[in-house]
Amino acid sequence: MIVSLIDSGLGMLPTSAWLRTLRPDLDLILALDPDGAPWGPKSEQWVIERVLATVQLTLDRGAEVIVLPCNTASVTALEHVREFVGPEIPVIGTVPAIKPAAEACESVAIWATAATTASRYQADLIERFGNGSSVVAVACHGLADAIDLGRRDTATAAIASAVARTPEDVEGVVLGCTHYPLMADEIAAKLPTGVRLFDSAEAVAAQTLRRIDALNRPSTGKGTVEVFLSGRPGRLPPSAEIFPAGRLLSAGRIQPS
């Protein structure tokens, strides 16, 4: 069983690492787009075309399941991908963990990129899943970019800025960009004691496995990891190995391209 994960950068690592941990025999295709990153500021049509081209690449490499562990890709291109691949290939998107956070906490902050924070999409999610909780949006300027580049000092400064703009009485923080869980320990250390963090990576991985099981096909593989960088065969960038998830995936059996 070959699963492809598509994102502009390292935001795919948390979900990929959960898949590697929960089902280490799965063969993974990790398709990053360093040439086009970040996707958030790009036009919708540009993102759709970029994602669909990457989907085709991974299908050509044998992908049987498609995962978009990226909020921008999910919001913009998820339905287009499903139409493109047809009903036989499961496509799993990502939604910020607003619902579980609002169910568990009376006050919630949603940390996200500036583009997502200003989006109608996030506002709709808050309206649908806010559950009567007090919800505030916090734009984390530069945090995702710093994570992609492996610049911990810059990332730490971005976290400190976001903490300073987060109300002191929040009970939960939603990590609304798939990059942010890579810095979860640093984020938790900067927030007041007792603040809970919520992210979607484990849930997306679990949903992926449920969809795989529903196919009723042999799901064993060799545990290979194949990496593409803007369509070119490659390896995870050195910045990935700063994070435990990146080291876990880099230690996988690399599929020759």
What are the catalytic residues? Answer: 70, 177
Q: How many CB atoms lie within 10 A of CB 30?
A: 26
CA distance 78 to 67: 9
Are the C-beta atoms of 171 and 107 separated by less than 8 Å?
yes
Are the C-beta atoms of 94 and 5 separated by less than 8 Å?
no
Bridge partners, 5 (sequence order): 30, 67
Q: Which structure tokens are listed for 144?
A: 């995702």
Are the C-beta atoms of 50 and 36 separated by less than 8 Å?
yes
**Residue carrying the six token digits 């800025």:** 161
Are the C-beta atoms of 32 and 7 separated by less than 8 Å?
yes
Closest among 107, 227, 228, 255 to 172, alpha carbons compared: 107
C-alpha dihedral, 177 to 181 to 182 to 185, nearest 10°? 140
